[in-house]
Structure 1
Amino acid sequence: MGDIVQDGHNSQEVGQSTQQTPDTIQELPQVGMKFDSEDELHVFYKKYAYQTGFGVRTSSTRRESNTKYYALECSKGGTYVCRTESNTTRLSSKTDCKAKVSVIVYGDGRCTISRVFLEHNHVLSPRKSRFQRSHNKLDSYSKRRLELNDSAGIPLCKNFHLLVVEAQGYENLAFDERDCRNFIAKARQLRLGTGDAEALRDYFVRMQRRSPNFYYVIDMDDEGRLRNVFWVDPRSRAAYESFGDVVSFDSTYLTNKYDMPFAPFVGVNHHRQSILFGCGLLSSEDKETYAWLFNSWLECMNGRSPKTIITDQCRSMKAAVAKVFPESHHRLCLWHIMKKIPKKLNGYTQYKAIYRTLKILVYESIEPQEFEDGWSKMIEDYNLEKNEWLSSLFDERKHWVPVYVKIIFWAGMSPLKEVKVYILFFDGYVNSKTTLRQFVEQYHNALKSKMEKESKADFASQNSSYKLLTGLCFEKQFHDCYTNAIFKLFQNELQGMLFCNHSLFKQDGTISIYHVTDVVDKKYEKCKRKVVYDVSYNEVGCDIKCSCHLFEFRGIVCRHMMKILIEKEIKELPSRYILSRWRKDLKHRHYYVTSCYEDLKNEEQAKQFNHLCSDFYEAAHIANSREKYEYLIKCIQVAKEKLNHDTSWVLTSNKVVMCEDVQCGPNPAAKLLSPSKVRGKGRPPSKRNESIVCDGKKDKVQDQRNSSLSDIRADKGTSSSSKDGRTFISDTMFPSTYYSFDLNH
Structure 2
Amino acid sequence: MAGRRSISKSIKRTLEGNDRVGLRPCNSVRLLEVQSSGLENMGCTPKDCRNYIEHARRLELLAGDANDLCNFFCDMQTKDNEFFCSMEMDGVNRIKSDVWVQSHCKYAYEEFNDVVCFDITYHVNRYNMPFASFVGINNHGRSILLRCDLLTSEDTMNYKLIFNKWLKAMKLVAPKATLTDQCESIKAGHIFAKLPNHLKVVGGEYKATKLEFKSIVLDSITIEEFEQRWGDFIEKYELEVSDWFSKLYSERKKWVPIYLNDNFWAGMLSTQRSEGIHAYFDGFISHRSTLKQFVQQYKLALRNRYEKELNDEHKSRYTKITCESMFSWEVQLRDAYTHRIFQIFQWLNTLYRENILTAIASALNQRGIVCCHILKVMAHKKTKYLDDRYFLTRWRKDIVRHNLKKFFLGGYPNMMDDYRKSRELMKYFDEACNIALDNDIMVQFLSSILMDLLNDLTNFDRSMIQDLMENTTTITIISGNDHIPNVVGNS
- Range class of TM-score, shorter chain: 0.7 to 0.9
**1:271–1:483: 8 Å Cα contact kept in structure 2?**
yes
Q: Distance in 1 between matches of 2:185 and 2:172?
A: 21
**2:107–2:403: 8 Å Cα contact kept in structure 1?**
yes
The equivalent of 2:442 in structure 1 is 628
Q: Is 1:554–2:367 an aligned residue pair?
A: yes
Alignment-mate amino acid for residue 443 of structure 2: Y
Q: Is 1:464–2:319 an aligned residue pair?
A: yes
Q: Distance in 2 between matches of 1:570 and 1:608?
A: 68
Closer/same/farther in 2, CA of residues 215 and 389 from structure 1, 3 Å limit: farther
The equivalent of 1:352 in structure 2 is 206
Which of residues 383, 404, 407 is equivalent to 2:238?
383
**2:125–2:289: 8 Å Cα contact kept in structure 1?**
yes
Could you tell me how far 1:588 is from its partner in structure 2? Answer: 0.8
Could you tell me how far 1:564 is from its partner in structure 2? Answer: 0.7
The equivalent of 1:595 in structure 2 is 408
**1:230–1:293: 8 Å Cα contact kept in structure 2?**
yes
Deviations 1:172-231 (A, max 9, x none): xxxxxxxxxxxxxx9x99957632222222211211111112111212222221112221
Q: Distance in 1 between matches of 2:88 and 2:190?
A: 29
**1:494–1:562: 8 Å Cα contact kept in structure 2?**
no
Q: Distance in 1 between matches of 2:413 and 2:266?
A: 35
- Structural mapping, 1:136-535, within 5 Å: 152-153=29-30, 194-254=63-123, 256-313=125-182, 331-342=185-196, 345=198, 348=201, 350=203, 352=206, 355-415=210-270, 417-425=271-279, 426-493=281-348, 495=350, 499=353, 520-521=355-356
Closer/same/farther in 2, CA of residues 206 and 476 from structure 1, 3 Å limit: same
Could you tell me how far 1:263 is from its partner in structure 2? Answer: 1.4
The equivalent of 2:13 in structure 1 is none
Alignment-mate amino acid for residue 153 of structure 1: R
Could you tell me how far 1:427 is from its partner in structure 2? Answer: 2.2
Could you tell me how far 1:454 is from its partner in structure 2? Answer: 1.4
The equivalent of 2:392 in structure 1 is 579
Q: Distance in 1 between matches of 2:200 and 2:94?
A: 43
Deviations 1:529-549 (A, max 9, x none): xx6x9xxxxxxxxxxxxx933
Q: Is 1:645–2:470 an aligned residue pair?
A: yes
Q: Distance in 2 between matches of 1:250 and 1:370?
A: 32
**2:116–2:175: 8 Å Cα contact kept in structure 1?**
yes
**2:185–2:256: 8 Å Cα contact kept in structure 1?**
no
SS at match of 1:251: strand
**1:249–1:423: 8 Å Cα contact kept in structure 2?**
no
Could you tell me how far 1:352 is from its partner in structure 2? Answer: 3.5
The equivalent of 2:430 in structure 1 is 617
**2:300–2:412: 8 Å Cα contact kept in structure 1?**
no
The equivalent of 1:86 in structure 2 is none
Deviations 1:289-312 (A, max 9, x none): 212111111211111111111113
SS at match of 1:430: coil
**1:308–1:331: 8 Å Cα contact kept in structure 2?**
no
Could you tell me how far 1:340 is from its partner in structure 2? Answer: 4.4
Write 1 or 2 for the structure with the bigger share of helix.
Answer: 2
Deviations 1:120-148 (A, max 9, x none): xxxxxxxxxxxxxxxxxxxxxxxxxx9xx
Closer/same/farther in 2, CA of residues 628 and 334 from structure 1, 3 Å limit: same
Could you tell me how far 1:615 is from its partner in structure 2? Answer: 4.8
- Structural mapping, 1:105-116, within 5 Å: none
Q: Distance in 1 between matches of 2:92 and 2:223?
A: 53
Write 1 or 2 for the structure with the bigger share of strand.
Answer: 1
SS at match of 2:179: strand
Could you tell me how far 1:278 is from its partner in structure 2? Answer: 0.8
Could you tell me how far 1:634 is from its partner in structure 2? Answer: 7.6
Could you tell me how far 1:240 is from its partner in structure 2? Answer: 0.8
Could you tell me how far 1:485 is from its partner in structure 2? Answer: 0.8
Alignment-mate amino acid for residue 369 of structure 2: I
Q: Distance in 2 between matches of 1:460 and 1:382?
A: 52
5+ unaligned residues in a row in structure 1: which ranges? 1-145, 156-185, 315-329, 500-518, 523-530, 534-546, 650-745
Deviations 1:314-373 (A, max 9, x none): 6xxxxxxxxxxxxxxx9554334444445x627646593654443222222222122212
SS at match of 2:77: helix
The equivalent of 1:115 in structure 2 is none
The equivalent of 2:479 in structure 1 is none
**2:133–2:276: 8 Å Cα contact kept in structure 1?**
no
**2:105–2:146: 8 Å Cα contact kept in structure 1?**
yes
Q: Distance in 1 between matches of 2:88 and 2:232?
A: 50
Closer/same/farther in 2, CA of residues 558 and 633 from structure 1, 3 Å limit: same
Q: Distance in 2 between matches of 1:608 and 1:594?
A: 29
Alignment-mate amino acid for residue 233 of structure 2: M
The equivalent of 1:567 in structure 2 is 380
**1:335–1:419: 8 Å Cα contact kept in structure 2?**
no
- Structural mapping, 1:30-41, within 5 Å: none
Closer/same/farther in 2, CA of residues 646 and 600 from structure 1, 3 Å limit: farther
**1:473–1:572: 8 Å Cα contact kept in structure 2?**
yes
Could you tell me how far 1:412 is from its partner in structure 2? Answer: 1.7
Deviations 1:654-684 (A, max 9, x none): xxxxxxxxxxxxxxxxxxxxxxxxxxxxxxx
Deviations 1:149-186 (A, max 9, x none): 9683369xxxxxxxxxxxxxxxxxxxxxxxxxxxxxx9
Structure-1-length-normalised TM-score: 0.49
- Structural mapping, 1:87-102, within 5 Å: none
The equivalent of 2:478 in structure 1 is none
- Structural mapping, 1:699-738, within 5 Å: none
Alignment-mate amino acid for residue 520 of structure 1: N
**2:134–2:146: 8 Å Cα contact kept in structure 1?**
yes
Could you tell me how far 1:626 is from its partner in structure 2? Answer: 5.5
Q: Distance in 2 between matches of 1:214 and 1:428?
A: 25
Higher relative contact order at CA 8 Å, sep ≥6: structure 1 or structure 2? 1
Structure-2-length-normalised TM-score: 0.73
Closer/same/farther in 2, CA of residues 196 and 388 from structure 1, 3 Å limit: farther
RMSD: 3.8
SS at match of 2:146: strand
Return 455-464 or 235-244, whichever deviates more: 455-464
**1:473–1:571: 8 Å Cα contact kept in structure 2?**
yes
Q: Matched residue pairs, number? A: 410
Closer/same/farther in 2, CA of residues 626 and 564 from structure 1, 3 Å limit: closer
SS at match of 1:549: helix
Q: Distance in 1 between matches of 2:201 and 2:285?
A: 37
Closer/same/farther in 2, CA of residues 439 and 255 from structure 1, 3 Å limit: closer
Closer/same/farther in 2, CA of residues 438 and 288 from structure 1, 3 Å limit: same
